[in-house]
Amino acid sequence: MRAILALEDGRLFHGKAFGAIVERVGEVVFNTSLTGYQEIFTDPSYAGQIVVLTNPQIGNYGTSPSDAESSRPYIEGLVVREFSPISSNWRSTEVTDEYLERSGVPVIAEIDTRAVVRHLRANGVMRGVISTAVDDTQALIAKARAHKKMDGTDLASVVSTKTSYTWDAAEPRNETGDKLLPSASTSSDQLHVVAYDFGIKQNILRMLARENCRVTVVPAKTTAADVLALQPDGVFFSNGPGDPEPLDYAVANVRELQGKTPLFGICLGHQIFGLALGGKTYKLKFGHHGGNHPIKNLATGRVEITAQNHNYNVDPASLPSDVERTHTNLNDDTLAGLKHKSDPMFSVQYHPEASPGPHDSHYLFKDFRTMMEEFKK
């Protein structure tokens, strides 16, 4: 069956349909990771987005429950060059085509993804639609244009857990299902972390558990008073989809918690920190999505290769003097990390837990553990 990707500016790409035979609309972004497609599918930060994968061969190693970063795929649709109808991997439990069909995700393949990426890089991310109605192109373009923009949209509360739960840290396991050994740098005392779920990934919970933390995950709109009532040793603000500016409730919670307990933020959590500290955010032209972005640690001079997935960024010029810039993106010099000079709080724009991606930034979870230990003294 033939399929079409129609962008809001009128650009059309024709290909072959796989996955679910449904029509989906979303913001079209591209990801440059070389592996880990199932982790990308199931990252809640992709809610509302159609993802173009630059790696040409997708689906060839199938899918496995242990590779999922959440309970289901969150992408609106998938755009690839070659899509494998079979899987070749002893860990695979379901062919990727069947997995996405069962999950209601449409796939368009056999198109020039290089051309799609070049178009988005030149013109910026834009709304698009994947459909099998290949003869109704003008209606599809109009549908893409009519779709609600990501700007000003609170998606974090949509994907967040509806009830609190405790992450079982008795036997934390990594992204391949292997048991994680406790970090050598941790003490024997277990610490309690309350994690705000704006679209949290499973590997974040694994990494916190590896640092001997008991994690209570709470809904996005949980009040700071309710969090403090749980007597946390630290509070974590997770990644998530959409624009950070509508999240007034999260910004207010950061301000209420600041100075009372150690705080650590990742991705959307980092943007929320920036807003809470008096800064401003803005939308990037085509975002940062992939597992190969170089970040410089300004304190050590070390360069980390990182996993990233975000469309918005904190403007460093808008931050007050009591906030220090800790990391920078070497591709475009955007702000990639900050910390408060006196209060125990820090955040990074990228994903130190990776999954998929490199492990260069795992030390940040150890830093959070150390900050909580020192705060207790």
pLDDT in tens, 63-104: 999 999 999 999 999 999 999 999 999 999 999 999 999 999
- Tell me how many degrees the CA angle 42-44-46 measures, rounded to the nearest 5: 90
Residue 289 to residue 30: CA distance in whole angstroms: 7
HSE-CB at 127 with a 13 A cutoff on CA atoms is 17
Give the three-state DSSP class for 319: coil
Whether the predicted pLDDT of 179 surpasses 80: no
Confidence of residue 259 (pLDDT cuts 50, 70, 90): very high
Binning pLDDT at 50, 70 and 90, where does residue 316 land? Answer: very high
For residues 210 and 293, give the distance between their C-alpha atoms in angstroms, rounded to a whole number: 25
Tokens of 84: 């494998």
pLDDT bracket for residue 169 (50, 70, 90): low
d(CA 201, CA 190): 21
Classify domain 2-146 by CATH architecture: 3-Layer(bba) Sandwich (3.50)
Residue 211's nearest CA partner among 43, 349, 364, 39 is: 364
Residues marked as catalytic: 267, 351, 353
Report whether 3 contacts 15 (CB < 8 A): yes
Q: Is 135 left (phi over 0), alpha (psi -120 to 50) or beta?
A: alpha
pLDDT-derived band of residue 183, with 50, 70 and 90 as boundaries?
Answer: low
Which tokens go with 162?
Answer: 């509806």
Q: Are the C-beta atoms of residues 92 and 61 closer than 8 Å to each other? A: yes
Strand partners, 283: 312
Under the banding of pLDDT at 50, 70 and 90, the label for residue 167 is confident
SS3 helix, strand, coil % of the chain, rounded to 5? 25, 30, 45
214, pLDDT greater than 50: yes
The pLDDT assigned to 230 comes to 97
Angle between helices 248-257 and 268-276 (to 10 degrees): 70
Residue ranges covered by each domain of the chain: 2-146, 156-376
Tell me: the pLDDT tens digits for 218-232?
A: 999 999 999 999 999
Give the mean model confidence (pLDDT) for residues 170-194.
Answer: 61
H helices present in 152-259, as ranges: 156-159, 202-210, 224-229, 248-257
From the candidate CATH numbers 3.50.30.30, 3.40.50.300, 3.40.50.880, 3.30.420.10, the one assigned to the domain spanning 156-376: 3.40.50.880
Amino acid letter, residue 66 = S
3-state secondary structure of 99: helix
Note the pLDDT tens digit of each residue in 3-60.
999 999 999 999 999 999 999 999 999 999 999 999 999 999 999 999 999 999 999 9
Write down the mean pLDDT value for the chain: 94
Beta strands in 184-302 (DSSP E): 191-197, 213-219, 234-237, 263-266, 280-297
Res. 174: pLDDT tops 80: no
